[in-house]
Structure formats: C-alpha cells, structure tokens
Amino acid sequence: MPTYQIEVNGTTSSVDVSTDTPLLWVLRDHLDLVGTKYGCGIGQCGACTVHVDGTAMRSCALTLEQVQGKSIRTIEGLSENGDHPVQEAWKEVDVPQCGYCQAGQIMTAAAFLEQNPAPSEEEIKNAMHGNICRCATYNRIHRAVEKAAENMG
C-alpha cells in the first residue's frame, strides 16, 4: 500500500492506504476526524463535505492522489472554538434536528459565503441544493446562511 502525506487542518500526516481509498474514510478511520460524515458515498448527499484549498468538495469522491499538496479543512478545523460566523449563525438559528448532515451543510455554506459574501435568496438555494437534510431543516439552513452573510458583512 502506498504512503501518502496529507495536510488536514494545518497538520501533515502520513497514511498507508490503498489507492482507491476515499479521503472520507481516511479522515474518519485513520485520522479520527469523524465530524465529516458518511451519507451516500457517491457524491449525492453532501454529508462528507470538506474544503480543499478553500473549495467545498465531497470527500467520499476524492482519492488521496487527488489531494496531494493541497490543504484540507474539515469541520473540526473550521474554527478554533466553534465560532466561525457560519457556526455562530447555525447556533443562533438552532438549525439541527438529528444534526447528522449539519457538518456538511456548514462546510458548504462557509465555502460558498467566502466566494459570495452577499448572496441572493436564489443563490443560497442553489448553493445548498446539493446537501440533503433528511430531517428537512431547509428553512432554518436558509435563514442561517442569510444570518451568517449578515454577520460576515
């Protein structure tokens, strides 16, 4: 099995895994970063969303080969104290029900607002459309993204 160096939340680790192992399972099983969730494994639900060089990507659909030399950020590293404006907004609006999808939602929203700090309603809907929330907290997710945009602006 090849050895890979990967940089996650500012720390570089080396892991021995087969070439086809998705980043998701490296994070969860090898690096003990279980905040990134498994929902579908095929890029359909967004529960596994992480930032790769600042862009929101599906970690279940990335191999380590594809993230060589890139910097990866997970929910655990989004902020030091859980106080990223998106996390703050999530708290203010009390978004979660079961909570399982929310790390992915937050990571998607954070990357999106970085690129589009003052989004329209339509743009928020489009940006968050790829993340499934089985508990259907969609109204609150929308409100929290708006709130985060306000707080960041």
Q: Which residues bind ligand FES (CB under 6 A)?
A: 38-41, 43-48, 58, 60, 96-102, 133-135, 137
* Alpha carbons within 13 A on the beta-carbon side of 123: 12
- Work out how close the CB of 77 gets to other proteins at its nearest, in angstroms, rounded to a whole number: 9
Q: For residue 51, list its beta bridge partners.
A: 56, 73
- Work out how close the CB of 151 gets to ligand FES at its nearest, in angstroms, rounded to a whole number: 21
> Which tokens is 95 given?
């978004």
- Work out how close the CB of 131 gets to ligand FES at its nearest, in angstroms, rounded to a whole number: 8
Question: Which residues contact residue 85 at a Cβ distance below 8 angstroms, ignoring those fewer than 6 apart?
Answer: 113, 148, 151, 152
* φ/ψ (deg, to 5) at 31: -100, 0
Q: How far apart are CA 111 and CA 106, in angstroms?
A: 9
48 binds, among ligand FES, other proteins, none (CB under 5 to 8 A by kind): ligand FES
146 binds, among other proteins, ligand FES, none (CB under 5 to 8 A by kind): none
Contacts with other proteins by CB under 8 A lie at 1, 17-18, 20-22, 25, 28-30, 32-42, 44-45, 47, 74-76, 78, 82, 87, 90-91, 94, 96-103, 106, 125-126, 128-142
Q: How far apart are CA 34 and CA 103, in angstroms?
A: 10
- Work out how close the CB of 2 gets to other proteins at its nearest, in angstroms, rounded to a whole number: 11
* φ/ψ (deg, to 5) at 72: -105, 140
Identify which of residues 103 and 149 has a Cβ nearer to ligand FES in the complex: 103
